[in-house]
Structure 1
Amino acid sequence: MQTIDWLWILHPALAVVLIYPLIGMVVRLGIQARARRVEKAKLPPTTGRDHADLGQWLSAGVVMLVLVALTVVIVTKQPPEGFTGGGGRALQLLLVLVGTVVSLLALWRVKAKGYRFVFALLTWAGVLGLGAQPEVWRLSDNPLSAEFWQSHYWAGVAVVGLMIFSLAARPEILKDLRWRRLHLTASALAAVLFLVQGITGSRDLLEIPLAWQKPTIYAYDPVQRVCPPFAPAPEPAPPVGPAGS
């Protein structure tokens, strides 16, 4: 494997090692927090706070994970000297990436409702802006096609939106029953999308060859399922006889 191949598996590796175990902990604590509040179960009083704190880390982690994936795809699609748009476009995308990270950090810190709304919108807009680049591959952009609903990218964008919502609405969720119900619905949808992400991500990994294999594999016809003919092996050179023969 080359360096570019290790960069391509950085996103799924972080998801498996960090995000999905964190999802399990957040879901478990959420069930316990609800049981303690509704069913008066004898559980530690810190259960709800632990659920909220880990949920905050999960939301921010998912956004950062998607930003890592988008950055790797855009940077490694072409060699630096052949980057479409040149240095000017590269600088613009870098500013969008930095602005998205800053907006996420600000969303983590601010308390006022208006600021939380603005920074949540900026964070999601940054993710959508980077994801709209031509280097980012998607099965389809048409919601009326079956491929759109099987796309790893669009399910990821949706789950990022739900995570940003949970992060931005945390104070309301803690105080208002209606917001908690909305949060519960959003969390159930996010759980389904995380399941879809696990399936479609594994599928897409099967379709990504190693860097040295790409020129040959990408030359095949996916519609007719026909591979290009391989070049004939070079003829061996005739043996050189002893001097004077």
Structure 2
Amino acid sequence: MTTTDWFWILHPALAVVVIYPLIGMVVRLAWQTRQRRVAKVKHPPVVGRDHSDLGRWLAAGVVLLVLIALTVVIVSKEPLADFAGGTARATQLFIVLLGTVASLIALWRSKAAPLRLSFSLITWVGVLTLGAQPEVWRLSDNPLSPAFWQSHYWAGVAVTGLMLFSLAARPEILRDLRLRRLHVTASVLAALLFVMQGITGTRDLLEIPLSWQKPAVYACDFVLKRCP
């Protein structure tokens, strides 16, 4: 494996080692928090706080994981000398990446609700902007196509938006019952999307050849399923 190949497995490796264990902990703490609040089960009082704190780390981790994936794909798709758009486009994309990371940090540290809302939207727009680049492979961009709903990319974008919502609305979720119920609904949807991501991510990994294999593999006819 080359250095490029190692960069390509960075995203799934971090997902398996960091993100999915965090999901398990957050879901378990969420269930314990609900049992303690609704069913009056005598769980430790700290379960709610731990759920909230780990949820913040999960949300930020998901956003960073997506940014890592998009960056690796864009940078390594072609040799740097053949990068479409040259230095000017590369600089623009780098600024978008830095701005997105800076916005995520600002979201993490902001206290005022308008600022949290603004920075969450800016972060999501940054993710969408990087994801819209031609180097990023998507099964389909047409919501009316079945392939769209099987896309690892679009499910990732959706779950990123849900994570940013939870991160931005965290103080209000703790205080407002309606937002708490909305948060529960969003979390259930996010859990389903994470399951889907595990399946589609594994599927896509099977379709990505090592860098030295790409010339031979991409010379094949994928419609007729024949190789020269």
Shift in Å, 1:43: 1.1
Q: Distance in 2 between matches of 1:25 and 1:182?
A: 20
Which runs of 5 or more residues in structure 2 are unaligned? none
Q: Distance in 2 between matches of 1:55 and 1:170?
A: 9
Letter aligned with residue 139 of structure 1: L
Q: Cα deviations across residues 74-114 of structure 1 (Å, max 9, x unaligned)?
A: 00001111110000000000000000000000001101111
Aligned residue in 2 for 1:95: 95
Tell me the amino acid that sits aligned with residue 2 of structure 1. Answer: T
Match of 2:80 in 1: 80
1: distance between equivalents of 2:45 and 2:197?
Answer: 33
For each residue in 1:46-81, what CA deviation from the matched residue of structure 2 results, as whole angstroms up to 9, or x when unmatched?
110000000000000000000000000000001111
One-letter amino acid matched to 2:208: I
Aligned to 1:51: 51
Q: Distance in 1 between matches of 2:81 and 2:214?
A: 19
User: Matched residues in 2 for 1:224 and 1:34: separation?
Assistant: 53
The amino acid across from 2:172 in the alignment is: E
Give the Cα–Cα distance (whole angstroms) in 1 for the partners of residues 52 and 84 of structure 2.
42
* 1:11 alignment partner, SS class: helix
Q: Who is 2:196 aligned against?
A: 196
2:143 equivalent to 1:153: no
| Partner AA of 1:144 in structure 2 | L
Deviation of residue 132 (structure 1)?
Answer: 0.1
The one-letter amino acid of 2:80's match is P
Give 1:110's aligned residue: 110
Quote the Cα distance in structure 1 between the aligned partners of 2:125 and 2:191. Answer: 23
Number of the residue aligned with 1:32: 32
Bigger radius of gyration, 1 or 2?
1
Q: Amino acid of the residue matched to residue 115 of structure 2? A: Y
CA distance in 2, matches of 1:117, 1:222: 44
Local SS of the residue matching 2:147: helix
Letter aligned with residue 118 of structure 1 = S
Residue in 2 that maps onto 1:141: 141
Counterpart of 2:212? Answer: 212
1:125 matched to 2:125? The reply is yes
Amino acid at match of 1:8: W
Superimposed CA distance per residue, residues 167-186 of structure 1 (whole angstroms, 9 cap, x where no aligned partner): 00001100011011000000
1:178 equivalent in structure 2? 178
The whole-number CA distance in structure 1 between the counterparts of 2:138 and 2:22 is: 27
Question: TM-score, length-normalised on structure 2?
Answer: 0.99
Residue matched to 1:71? 71
Matches within 5 A, 1:157-172: 157-172=157-172
Unaligned runs of 5+ residues in structure 1 are: 229-245
Which residue does 2:224 correspond to in 1? 224
Q: CA deviation at 1:40?
A: 1.1
